[in-house]
């Protein structure tokens, strides 16, 4: 049972209450780590002073470094979903309309971004209420900060899930949605007691929540965050380096000078800043009649700080597979298309691997939509043959794409008639659909012209 939120409920069965308690425990155990990852992602990580080289005046400096967000977003934005297909035909099972009504083009990128930030995110599907303006099926992305799930090792799918929909000022849940195999339950917490306010039947027999996971492992089915322990350390070290650089810049801007043989009261009425900034400094002879000697210490260099920053940035790129240019490390000469492709090769390979990981939950998501829309208890058999289409993550220059497709078509002329050839040529699915529609329209016009010409000749 949950220690922080003992579950006392009205309207939940004993089994549902036990699952609810376990889900709250999982959420409570993970929320500290998830909050920490969000702090790094948002660039709000506080400066951690080692107490050695930073003066007291600089300990409260608000330094920020956006490396964790860069590591997440750069990979997330390589994912371009293009829809579902069956036997080469787009809009499999006519779900594109529902996806558009749910703004799936925005929900999925947010889910992917959140998966890279917290290791896992979720997309839920529920029956919509048309009287309230909902589509027939409601699709919603949810992050791990306010969602938890239990994993069924035998079925290799989610056993139950919890989405927190409201919380009090102390961030304790006050309203939740529970996803079970046979129902979707909405409950509210009042005076320490959870009360079911809505129960929807779930005819599908599966939990209507799909997990999108970064780097899943057998012993860790909900994966790992891209904001790893090394990334967090490098971010802290980078912030310290920036603060040390700031301190050094202050000394660099005001060089240290010295005066030998001046009177003891020479600077009694002059503050340090005025002494540094004075254009003319008049000093009398000292008590021994000697002329004071004025000098300047050798100026320090910013080079060591910049070199350390570069090394930290390179270590960060190695950990996250980002090209060096992503963190501002540019070569002297502009990179060519081939150099850009080589620099992003590891990140692109990682993106393609993750698409294969996302393929299964996306297919199950489409099945959930079809079953809820049509009132089915099992997914259509053909749906397991459904394909998920996406834009390749690897960058290829237009010239290289054109050269490749020209050579392939020369060897295999029929390839030119396929959608695959157009995709390899660099066209997006939307552009391909538009071109094919125009070709069909032009083809229909040609057929009509021939029919009219034949009738005229017969007359």
Which of 179-188, 219-228, 394-403 is least confident?
Answer: 394-403
> pLDDT tens digit string along 65-97?
999 999 999 999 999 998 998 887 888 899 999
Q: Are 107 and 115 contacting, i.e. CB atoms less than 8 angstroms apart? A: no
Model pLDDT, residue 280: 47
Asked if residue 86 belongs to a domain, the reply is yes
Distance of CA 182 to the CA centre of its chain: 32
Q: Is residue 334 part of a domain?
A: yes
Instruction: Calculate what percentage of the chain has a pLDDT beyond 70.
Output: 78
pLDDT, one tens digit per residue, over 225-257 is 999 999 999 999 998 888 787 777 766 666 666
Q: Which of 335, 303, 342 is closest to 321 using CA atoms?
A: 342
Strand pairing of 9-10 and 193-201? parallel
Dist. CA 394–CA 404, nearest whole Å: 15
Closest of 390, 392, 353, 385 to residue 366, by C-alpha:
385
Q: Examine residue 424 and state whether it is found in any structural domain, yes or no.
A: no
Structural domain includes residue 296? no
**What is the total count of domains within the chain?**
1
The predicted structure's pLDDT at residue 192 = 86
The range of the structural domain enclosing residue 152 comes to 1-255+301-395
DSSP 5-68: S---EES--HHHHHHHHHHHHHHHHHHHHHHHHHHHHTT-PPP---SSS--GGGTT------HH
- With respect to residue 188, please indicate whether it lies within any of the assigned structural domains: yes
Question: Which pLDDT does position 347 carry in this prediction?
Answer: 94
CA distance 313 to 328: 9
Residues 6+ apart with CB under 8 A from 396: 341, 426
Per mean pLDDT, which range of 194-203, 368-377, 423-432 is the poorest? 423-432
Look at residue 271 in the predicted model and tell me its pLDDT.
Answer: 57
DSSP assignment of 312-371: HHHHHHHHHT--GGGGT---SSPPPHHHHHHHTHHHHHHHHHHHHHHHHHHHHHHHHHHH
The answer to pTM > 0.85 is: no
- The percentage of the chain sitting over the pLDDT mark of 90, rounded to a whole number, equals 52
As a whole number of angstroms, the distance between CA 296 and CA 254 comes to: 11
Residue 288 lies in a domain: no
How far apart are the C-alpha atoms of 346 and 57, rounded to whole Å?
Answer: 43
Please check whether residue 122 is in contact with residue 108, taking contact to mean a CB–CB distance below 8 angstroms.
no
Give the helix/strand (H/E) hosting 295.
strand 293-296
Domain annotation covers residue 289: no
Residue 129 lies in a domain: yes
Contact 64, 238 (CB under 8 A): no
Checking if the pLDDT of 133 tops 60, the result is yes
Encoding tokens for residue 113?
């971004």
pLDDT exceeds cutoff 60 at 24: yes
């Amino acid at each position: 049972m949950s220690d922080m939120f003992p579950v006392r409920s009205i309207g939940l069965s004993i089994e549902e209450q036990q699952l609810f308690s376990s889900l709250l425990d999982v959420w409570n155990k993970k929320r500290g780590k998830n909050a920490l990852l969000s702090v790094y992602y948002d660039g709000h990580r506080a400066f951690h002073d080692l107490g050695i080289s930073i003066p007291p005046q600089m300990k409260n400096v608000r330094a920020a470094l956006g490396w964790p967000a860069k590591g997440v977003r750069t990979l997330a934005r390589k994912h371009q979903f293009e829809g579902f297909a069956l036997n080469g035909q787009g809009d499999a099972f006519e779900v594109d309309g529902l996806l558009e009504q749910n703004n799936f083009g925005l929900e999925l990128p947010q889910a992917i971004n959140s998966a890279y930030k917290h290791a896992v995110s979720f997309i839920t599907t529920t029956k919509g209420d048309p009287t309230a303006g909902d589509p027939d099926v409601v699709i919603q992305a949810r992050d791990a900060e306010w969602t938890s799930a239990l994993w069924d090792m035998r079925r290799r799918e989610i056993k139950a899930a919890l989405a927190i929909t409201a919380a009090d000022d102390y961030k304790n849940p006050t309203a939740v949605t529970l996803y079970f195999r046979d129902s979707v339950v909405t409950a509210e917490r009042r005076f320490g007691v959870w009360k079911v306010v809505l129960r929807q039947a779930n005819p599908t027999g599966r939990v209507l929540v799909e997990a999108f996971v970064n780097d899943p492992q057998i012993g860790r089915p909900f994966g790992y965050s891209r904001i790893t322990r090394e990334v967090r350390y490098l971010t802290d070290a980078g912030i310290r380096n920036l603060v040390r650089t700031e301190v050094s810049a202050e000394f660099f801007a005001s060089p240290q000078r010295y005066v030998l043989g001046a009177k003891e009261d020479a600077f009694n009425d002059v503050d340090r800043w005025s002494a540094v900034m004075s254009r003319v400094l008049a000093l009398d002879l000292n008590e021994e009649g000697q002329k004071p000697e004025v000098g300047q210490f050798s100026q320090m260099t910013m080079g060591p700080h910049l070199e350390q920053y570069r090394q930290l940035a390179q270590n960060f790129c190695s950990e996250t597979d980002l090209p060096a240019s992503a963190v501002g490390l540019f070569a002297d000469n502009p990179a060519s298309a081939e150099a850009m492709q080589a620099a992003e090769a590891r990140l692109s390979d990682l993106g393609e691997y993750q698409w294969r990981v996302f393929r299964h939950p996306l297919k199950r998501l489409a099945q959930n939509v079809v079953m809820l829309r049509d009132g089915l208890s099992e997914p259509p058999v053909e749906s397991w043959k459904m394909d998920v289409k996406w834009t390749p993550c690897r960058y290829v220059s237009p010239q290289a794409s054109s050269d490749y497709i020209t050579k392939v078509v020369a060897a295999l002329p029929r390839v030119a008639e396929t959608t695959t050839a157009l995709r390899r040529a660099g066209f997006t699915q939307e552009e391909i659909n538009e071109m094919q529609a125009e070709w069909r329209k032009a083809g229909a016009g040609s057929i009509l012209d021939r029919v009219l010409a034949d009738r005229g000749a017969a007359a």
